[in-house]
C-alpha cells in the first residue's frame, strides 16, 4: 500500500475510530428505513446536542453519511460506497497469510552479514 492509498482510507478509519461515531453509524443503519434524524440518535447517548451534531458532521465529511434536510429535521443515511470501500480494504488484507509455513526471512535493510 502506497502513501497515497493510505491517505485515501485513513480519513474513513479516523471517522470510525470513535465509540460515539461508530455507534451513530450503526444506529443509522439499523434505524427504520435506514435513515434517522438527530432527534432519533441523541437519546442513545449521554452527550449534548452540539456534540452529536459535531460527530455527525465528521461522518458526513468523511463520506460515510448522506445528509438531507426535510422541514425542520435533518435525516442522515449511510453511504454504501464508503462502507464497501472499508469491506474491500479488510477483505484484501488477511489473504496474505492464511496458512503459510512462515519461512523465516533474513532482514534486508541492515544486510545479512551480521
Partner DNA sequence: TGTCACTATCGACGCATGTCGATGTCCTGC
Partner DNA sequence: GCAGGACATCGACATGCGTCGATAGTGACA
CA 36/CA 82 separation, integer angstroms: 18
Interacting positions 81-100 with a second copy (CB under 8 A): 83-84, 86-87, 89-91, 93-94, 96-98, 100
What residues does 37 pair with on adjacent strands?
Answer: 75
Minimum distance between the CB of residue 14 and a second copy, rounded to whole angstroms? 4
Tell me if 53 contacts a second copy by CB under 8 A: no
Q: Which three cell numbers stand for residue 67?
A: 445528509
Nearer to DNA by Cβ, of 18 and 84: the residue is: 18
Binding of residue 113 to a second copy (CB under 8 A): no
For a second copy, the closer CB: 27 or 60: 27
For residues 23, 63, 57, 12, the Cα torsion angle rounded to the nearest 10 degrees is 60
Q: What share of the chain is helix, strand, coil (3-state, %, to 5)?
A: 55, 15, 30
Task: Evaluate the CA torsion angle 75, 56, 8, 6 in order and state its sign.
Answer: negative
Binding site for a second copy (CB under 8 A): 1-3, 6-7, 9-10, 13-14, 16-19, 22-23, 25-27, 29-37, 39-40, 42-43, 70-73, 75, 77-78, 80, 83-84, 86-87, 89-91, 93-94, 96-98, 100, 102-105, 107-110, 114
Amino acid at each position: 500500500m502506497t502513501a497515497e492509498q493510505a491517505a485515501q482510507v485513513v480519513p474513513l478509519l479516523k471517522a470510525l475510530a470513535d465509540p460515539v461515531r461508530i455507534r451513530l453509524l450503526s444506529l443509522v443503519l439499523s434505524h427504520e428505513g435506514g435513515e434517522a434524524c438527530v432527534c432519533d440518535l441523541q437519546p442513545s447517548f449521554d452527550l449534548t446536542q452540539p456534540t452529536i451534531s459535531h460527530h455527525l458532521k465528521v461522518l458526513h465529511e468523511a463520506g460515510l453519511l448522506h445528509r438531507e434536510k426535510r422541514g425542520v429535521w435533518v435525516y442522515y443515511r449511510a453511504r454504501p460506497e464508503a462502507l464497501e470501500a472499508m469491506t474491500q480494504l479488510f477483505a484484501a488484507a488477511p489473504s496474505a497469510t492464511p496458512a503459510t509455513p512462515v519461512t523465516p526471512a533474513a532482514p534486508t535493510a541492515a544486510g545479512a552479514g551480521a
